[in-house]
Amino acid sequence: MVEMIRTATNMYNHGWDERNGGNISMLLDEAEVREYLDMQSICTLETGFAAPELDGRFFLVTGTGKYFMNVQYDPAKNLGIVRLIEDGTKAELLWGYTDGGRFTSEFSAHMMSHVARLVVDPLNRVVMHCHPGNLLAMTYVHDLDERAFTRTLWQMCTECIVVFPDGVNVLPWMLCGTNEIGEATAKKMETARLVVWAQHGIYGAGRDLDETFGLIETAEKAAEIYLKIAHLPLVNTITDEQMHLLEQRFGVKAREGYLQ
């Protein structure tokens, strides 16, 4: 909980979550939840989708319409703990949303992304969405082809290929808050932990809040460098040969076919 508050505050302070922008969900262990809660259901909410893989699982989730800026001052109003029931078509509220609120409007994208990432990595716990300015800006001026987008980011900072060797997947502009964008995001999450929503923001997934934050932070830094240099004549870059040296040195494998 403390980490959740710190992360939401940190994301707000980075300018990634203006107003009610952004949302976070974190899978909790049942034992962890039982330690703090009496497990009484406050109310049952319809999710609007099915996710049988997550039946009975517990999540700490930011609330819809809530401001990341305020999470630190009133966590019980701005966050909630829910248990998915009835094949994920319903969620029991166990704690939080004290003003009668509910989970984020992007709950389907979050839950479907959890399903997709847990298949790839059973230790995945966190899905995070936000609106970082440089990545967002990049989607207006850069080719949205995933290989091209990823390669540009990798070339902007040496550590990028080490931090996200699986690259960045990209969705074209789609209506947010729908099951369609949720399904499309989850599909993209099968092959990468970062999914850009063109002209909107980014989704990240990871084993804990710091790792997921760091993933987005690294991609955002690379996008910042790109915007600083995109209009200037390019004199130097990180070559594919050098990328291969990074792969060897750090024991990572770049996404198949992304390097020459």
Among 176, 225, 229, 238, binds ligand 2HA (CB under 6 A): 176
Q: How far is CA 8 from CA 18, 57, 72, 129, 226, in A?
A: 11, 22, 8, 11, 26
Q: Using the rule CB under 6 A, is 174 a contact of ligand 2HA?
A: no
Q: How far is CA 38 from CA 28, 31, 45, 80, in A?
A: 15, 12, 19, 15
**Residue 20 or 152 with smaller CB distance to ligand 2HA:** 20
**Number of residues forming the site for ligand 2HA (CB under 6 A):** 9
Q: Per this entry, what is the length of the chain?
A: 260
**Residue 7 or 23 with smaller CB distance to ligand 2HA:** 23
Among positions 223-242, residues that touch ligand 2HA (CB under 6 A) are none
Please name which of 111, 81, 248, 93 lies closest in space to residue 183, comparing C-alpha atoms.
111
**Binding window for ligand 2HA (CB under 6 A); candidates: 41-49, 102-110, 182-190, 225-233:** 102-110
Report the nearest approach of ligand 2HA to the CB of residue 199 (Å): 12
Q: Using the rule CB under 5 A, is 132 a contact of Zn ion?
A: no
Q: Under 8 Å CB-to-CB from 31, ≥6 apart: which residues?
A: none
Q: How many CB atoms lie within 10 A of CB 175?
A: 8
d(CA 250, CA 231): 32
Among positions 115-134, residues that touch ligand 2HA (CB under 6 A) are 129
Give the chain's count of helices (H) and strands (E): 11, 9
79: left (phi > 0), else alpha (psi -120 to 50), else beta? Answer: beta
User: Which residues have a catalytic role annotated?
Assistant: 106
**At 78, which helix (H) or strand (E)?**
helix 75-78
Among 4, 22, 93, 115, binds ligand 2HA (CB under 6 A): 22
**Which residues of the chain form beta strands (DSSP E)?**
23-28, 43-46, 58-62, 79-85, 90-96, 126-130, 168-171, 194-197, 201-206
Q: Using the rule CB under 6 A, is 178 a contact of ligand 2HA?
A: no
Q: Using the rule CB under 6 A, is 105 a contact of ligand 2HA?
A: yes
Q: Using the rule CB under 6 A, is 106 a contact of ligand 2HA?
A: yes
Report the nearest approach of ligand 2HA to the CB of residue 129 (Å): 6
Report the nearest approach of Zn ion to the CB of residue 176 (Å): 6
**Number of residues forming the site for Zn ion (CB under 5 A):** 1
Q: Under 8 Å CB-to-CB from 100, ≥6 apart: which residues?
A: none
What would the x/- binding string for Zn ion be over residues 187 to 206, using CB under 5 A?
--------------x-----
Report the nearest approach of ligand 2HA to the CB of residue 143 (Å): 24
> Which residues contact ligand 2HA (rule: CB under 6 A)?
20-23, 104-106, 129, 176
Q: Which residues bind Zn ion (CB under 5 A)?
A: 201
